[in-house]
Amino acid sequence: MSTKGFFIVIEGIDGTGKSTQARRLGDWLVSRGREVVLSREPTDGPWGTKLRESAATGRLSPEAELEYFLKDRRQHVEELIAPSLAAGKVVILDRYYFSTMAYQGARGIDPQEIRRKNEAFAPQPDLLLIIDLDVDSALTRIGARGDTANEFEKRENLERCREIFLSLGEEPFARVVPSHGTLDEVASELRKVVSEMI
């Protein structure tokens, strides 16, 4: 394994198990002697906290939401991501600007415009792992059946997000990993992809 910093981003719609997989991948890399920084977006900083609160108290407009995610990310890049990579660590993120393309894109903002705004300051990862799951299975895992108005809206929204994530699978630095298998199977597939690159 090299000792240069390496930047891994894990993405996917809600219910794909990305947070568990991010943790397991981190533990595995630590066991292989790497220094790992595991983080997530939205962060626990001031802008991320506002975003999490707004999810409970009534959503912001798409434009305000985008603005808050950009502010949260700018701080995350400056304070944690860039310095950790410069110090040779492996950074693993549970969500990054591809989630903004998917989720704020699903709310009507052009995903390519979102991408441009982010890439003006946010470094591209070395590896983007997109954990893919069909929306029916994802809704089952998050305890929704899609038969109330709210859940129907959630279903449509997740369908659009999934499409945007899958379109990112074309990027040379991206891999789509299906998550139909067990947690162990998905974890082992992710380790395989990472060990080929790191």
Residues in touch with ligand TYD (CB under 6 A): 14, 19, 41-42, 69, 94-95, 99-100, 103-104
- Residue closer to ligand TYD, measured from CB, 69 or 165: 69
CA distance 169 to 180: 17
- Residue closer to ligand TYD, measured from CB, 14 or 134: 14
9 phi, psi to nearest 5 deg:
-120, 135
Q: How far is the CB of 167 from ligand TYD (least distance, A)?
A: 16
CA distance 156 to 151: 9
- Residue closer to ligand TYD, measured from CB, 5 or 105: 105
Identify the CA nearest to 197 among candidates 100, 116, 128, 114. Answer: 128
Q: How far is the CB of 100 from ligand TYD (least distance, A)?
A: 3
Q: How far is the CB of 180 from ligand TYD (least distance, A)?
A: 20
H or E element in which residue 174 lies: strand 174-178
Q: How far is the CB of 181 from ligand TYD (least distance, A)?
A: 21
User: Quick check: 86 and 43 in contact, CB under 8 A?
Assistant: no
CA distance 13 to 116: 22
- Residue closer to ligand TYD, measured from CB, 94 or 189: 94
- Residue closer to ligand TYD, measured from CB, 94 or 132: 94
Q: How far is the CB of 149 from ligand TYD (least distance, A)?
A: 18
User: Quick check: 20 and 92 in contact, CB under 8 A?
Assistant: no
Nearest residue to ligand TYD by CB is 103
* The residue to which tokens 């591809």 are assigned: 98
